[in-house]
Amino acid sequence: MPSPPLIAYAHVGKSFDGGRGAERVKAVDDVSLEVAEGEFLAIVGGSGSGKTTLLRLANRLIDADSGSITVEGEDVRAADPVALRRRIGYVFQSGGLFPHISVAGNIGITPKLLGTPAVEIAARVDELLDLVRLDRGLYRDRLPHELSGGQRQRVGVARALAARPRIVLMDEPFGALDPLTRDALGDDYRALHRKFGLTTVMITHDMTEAILLADRVAVMRGGKLLAQGTPSELSNSDDAYVGELLHTPRRQAERLKVLLPRDGAA
C-alpha cells in the first residue's frame, strides 16, 4: 500500500456492562483493520456483531478499552473528541436530523459550530442541496418531518459533507429505505465519494449492498473480524459464515438472471 492508512485499528477491544450483574459483553474483540485514503470500506455483520461499536470508536463516540486507533496518523486518544468529530462526517441511521431545525440549519450545523460566517454557510448549504439532488427553493426551509425517508437521508449525507471532511462514517445509512430509493441514494453517494476523494466506512447488514458499493468488505461476527478483502478475495474465503453471507447475493443474482433474461428470449 503506497500511502499510509487514513484510519487504522490495532488490536482494539471494547466491552460493555451486560447489566444486572451479567458478564461483560465483548462488543469488539482484538480487531485490527486499516482503511486506505480514498477507499470505500463496508463492514458487514448481523446485529450484535460489534460493527456499529467499531465505527463509533473512530470518532470517539465511544472510547476503546484496549488497543489503539489512529485517524489521519494521529492517535484518537490524544485528539480533542469534539474537534475530531467536527472533521469527520457522520451519517446516522435514519438520518438523525434535529427535528426542530430546518433542512438548511441541519446541513449547516457543523460549519456553524466551527464558526463559519453565515453567508458562507448559506452558500455551502445550497451547493450541498444540489449535490444530494434536492431542490434548494423547495427544501431549504422545510422541517425534517416534512420530508420523505429518502429525502431525510439525503439531508443526512449533505450534513455529513458540510464541513468538507476527508472521512465519512456511515451507520446503516440506507437500511430503512425502500429498494429503489436505496439504490438511487447508494449510487449518488458512491459518485460523491469518488468526486471528493473521500474515505468512507459504511456499516451494513446487507452483503449485496456492501458488494455493490464498497471497494473492500470486512465481515464481523461476535466482536471479531472474520475476513476482509475485495469481493472477489472474500469469495475465496474458507470461513463458513462468510460463505453463508455471500450465498444470498449469489443465489439472488442467479435467480434474477433466469427470471429477467436481458436478451429478450421470452
Partner 1 sequence: MSLFSDPRWSEALAHLPDYLGNHVRVSVTALALGLAISLPLAIAARNRPAMRGTLLGFASIVQTVPGLALLALFYPLLLALAALSLSWFGFGFSAFGFLPAVLALALYSMLPVLRNTITGLNGVDAAILEAAQGVGMTPRQSLLSVELPLALPVMMAGVRTAAVWVIGTATLSTPIGQTSLGNYIFAGLQTQNWVFVLFGCLAAAVLALAVDQLLALIETGIRARSRLRTALGGIGIAALVAATLVPSMARSPSSYIVGAKTFAEQYVLSALIAQRLRAAGLSASSREGLGSNVIFEALASNDIDVYVDYSGTLWANQFHHTDIKPRQVLLDELKATLAQQRITLLGELGFENAYALVMPRKRAEQLGIRSIADLASHAGTMSTAADYEFFSRPEWARLQKAYGLTFREQRQMQPDFMYAAVASGEVDVIAGYTSDGLIAKYDLMVLDDPRHAIPPYDAMVLLAPKRADDQALKAALAPLLGRIDISAMREANLRAAGGDGASSPDVVARWLWEKIAKR
* Binding region for partner 1 (CB under 8 A): 59, 61, 82-83, 85-86, 90, 92-94, 96-100, 109-110, 113-114, 159
* Rounded Cα gap, residues 209 and 179, in angstroms: 10
Chain centre to alpha carbon of residue 49: 16
Nearer to partner 1, 113 or 191 (CB): 113
Shortest approach of partner 1 to residue 77 CB, angstroms? 17
Shortest approach of partner 1 to residue 85 CB, angstroms? 4
Nearer to partner 1, 67 or 96 (CB): 96
Nearer to partner 1, 61 or 212 (CB): 61
Q: Show the cell assigned to 120.
A: 458562507
Shortest approach of partner 1 to residue 79 CB, angstroms? 12
Nearer to partner 1, 78 or 258 (CB): 78
Shortest approach of partner 1 to residue 59 CB, angstroms? 7
Nearer to partner 1, 78 or 82 (CB): 82
Residue 68's nearest CA partner among 24, 23, 109, 34 is: 34
* Rounded Cα gap, residues 113 and 122, in angstroms: 14
Shortest approach of partner 1 to residue 113 CB, angstroms? 5
Chain centre to alpha carbon of residue 12: 19
